[in-house]
Structure 1
């Protein structure tokens, strides 16, 4: 990729030591992404901590594992009491229902292609294409995802390839052609070029 792309040739040595790392299980990762939508990182962490405490208290056991069945056991007032909006409470319940009913094929994901997984995930309320793509990059560590709806990616392409001029999705896609089959990796380096802190999900 660095051979074919002058920008990547400069960026990769700057951040060469840092790496993406997957954390937690699929259900927890997606639940976290729903909790964090449209609120600050600090607020999201506070709501997340209260939500986890409510789930674990409701499950009655010493487990620290966030189980879909334990989320389904909570009523809406309890979820709202953890600081969740009515809509996010609905989304988390729908997520838990999908996992509990086996409507997402977690065990098969390694064999499935990116688009098939995105299709399963966007069927869950509160998960759009962007969230599904972030999940592919950060949780499943898929190397060739190009999240064209990501503001940071578009901004990074604009600054690094077009001297700050506005960039269309078609232009961004074209730039990304040179990155295949490592579009996720290039996206991550562009994020780092905008913000020295590692992107975390």
Structure 2
């Protein structure tokens, strides 16, 4: 499986899935063990024909909701488009607020979706083709200016939609717990710790993030984290 092609803006060549695992395994014994436990890298990428504004709206729809509920709301929203197509930014802005709310969006999410539509029309949210010519940092800087869009949301777009190889979502709690498991820490590490310790995974931190996400499904994950938490509590008594 190919992780991707050469990305001109970043000037990096993506590795194959097998090579990515080998790269991480060679970092140290801890990464070697994790790669062995999780297995081959199997990224779940989104539809390459989807535009960034569509991905952002879908991400907003799913915030703080179970997948089933998020999918239902997203499908209702998609049905508001013409001839089965995703609603265009212009059409979104023409919609009555109550029509958007009827899909299941909160007032805050409705406002964010409209902000995404406006930003797409003005060019702040680039087309997919234009996005491919921008660096990771350029996209993060541009898109986080949109009200309601945080860094984590943009990082998910970069990893799963634009297929960028070197993103580490340090604000992600599962990622931080993954490092706790990997490094046998007593407490959940800070964002600073994650960023520092993941530098060794560059230029393939997106692959490293995928492995860290998978730690939560490992048989000994709960046991190890529970043991470390109890140890930390006993030290404070």
Detail structure 1 runs of 4+ shifted over 6 Å in the superposition.
none
The normalised TM-score by structure 1 is 0.87
Distance apart, 1:163 and its partner CA: 4.2
Distance apart, 1:162 and its partner CA: 2.4
Superposed counterparts of 1:85-164, under 5 Å: 85-106=106-127, 107-164=129-186
- With CA pairs under 8 Å and 6+ residues apart, which has the higher RCO, 1 or 2? 1
What is the total number of aligned residue pairs between the two structures?
A: 191
Q: Is the 8 A contact 2:152 2:171 kept in 1?
A: yes
Cα separation, 2, equivalents of 1:184 and 1:192: 13
Is 1:16 matched up with 2:16? no
Is 1:2 matched up with 2:44? no
Q: Is the 8 A contact 2:201 2:208 kept in 1?
A: yes
Does 15-24 or 92-101 show the bigger shift?
15-24
Cα separation, 2, equivalents of 1:5 and 1:144: 19
Cα separation, 1, equivalents of 2:134 and 2:169: 18
Q: Is the 8 A contact 2:112 2:148 kept in 1?
A: yes
Question: Gaps spanning 5+ residues in structure 1: where?
Answer: 197-201
Is 1:50 matched up with 2:50? no
Tell which structure's C-alpha radius of gyration is larger: 2
Does 43-52 or 102-111 show the bigger shift?
102-111
The normalised TM-score by structure 2 is 0.74
Q: Is the 8 A contact 1:5 1:178 kept in 2?
A: no
1:78 corresponding residue in structure 2: 99
Cα separation, 1, equivalents of 2:173 and 2:64: 14
RMSD of aligned Cα (Å):
1.8
